[in-house]
Amino acid sequence: MKVKIRQWNGVASWLWVANDENCGICRMPFNGCCPDCKVPGDDCPLVWGQCSHCFHMHCILKWLNSQQVQQQCPMCRQEWKFKE
């Protein structure tokens, strides 16, 4: 017997390669989106800091904008720098 597979339609779910489940700012799952967004993934991406913490991009930008003096990671209070 010979089996010839013409087409295999699989199902997968995507997920962020992050070290946590939820965004430390909005507490929403990374695989979902930040409270301001409707659609996850490309439209509501994650960003990583050099301290290796990551957040929804919209969340951390909002946070950084609200910091007057120094821009710190809300988790570890190190200076926030985007990881290249």
Partner 1 sequence: MEDIGMEADSAEMSGSAQQGVADAWGAVTAALMSPGGSVTEQSLSDSLALLCGQGLGRLLGGWLLETLQMRLSSSVVPEFWAGLKQPENEMEERGRAWVLLTAFRTLLGRLEPFLGGLERLGAWQDEGRGSLCGPGPGGLQERAFTIIRALLLFSPSPVLQERVLEFYSRTFSVYMNQEGRAEDGAEAPDGPERGVCPGCGVPTQQCWCKEALEQLQELSHILSKLQLLEWVSCEAVTSILHKLIEQRMEQHCRGEYERSFLLEFQEWLELVLGWLSKVFASEADREGLVPAPSAPSAPRAPSIPAGQPGSSVLKQWRCHMHQFFCRIYVNMRIEELFSIIRDFPESKAAIEDLKFCLERTNQRQQLLTSLKSAFESRLLHPGVHTSDILTVYISAIKALRELDPSMVILQVACQPIRKYLRTREDTVRQIVAGLTGDAEGCTDLASELSRGDPVTLEMQDSDEEGNDPEDWTPDPTDAVPDKMGSKRRSSDIISLLVSIYGSKDIFIDEYRAVLADRLLHQLNYNTAREIRNVELLKLRFGESHMHYCEVMLKDMADSRRINTNIREEESRLSEEEQPPLSLSSIILSSEFWPPLKEEKLELPPLVCQAMEAYTHRYEKLKAMRTLSWKPHLGSVTLDLELEDRTLTNLTVSPIHAAIILHFQEKSTWTLEELSVKLGAPKELVHRKLALWQQHGVLREEAGGRYYVVETGSSKEKLERGVMLIDSDEERDSNTTTQSEQREEKLQLFWAYIQAMLTNLDSMTLDRIHSMLRMFVATGPVVTEMDVNELEAFLQRKVREHQLMVSAGVYRLPKAN
Q: Which residues bind partner 1 (CB under 8 A)?
A: 1-18, 29, 31-32, 38-42, 46, 48
Whose CA is closest to 51, among 8, 21, 20?
20
Residue with Cβ nearer partner 1 (43 or 79): 43
Q: Which is nearer to partner 1, 38 or 66 (CB)?
A: 38
Backbone φ and ψ of 66, nearest 5°: -85, -10
Q: How far is the CB of 72 from partner 1 (least distance, A)?
A: 23
Q: Which lies closer to partner 1 via its Cβ, residue 4 or residue 66?
A: 4
What does the block give as tokens for 1?
């017997």
Nearest to 54 by CA among 78, 33, 25: 25
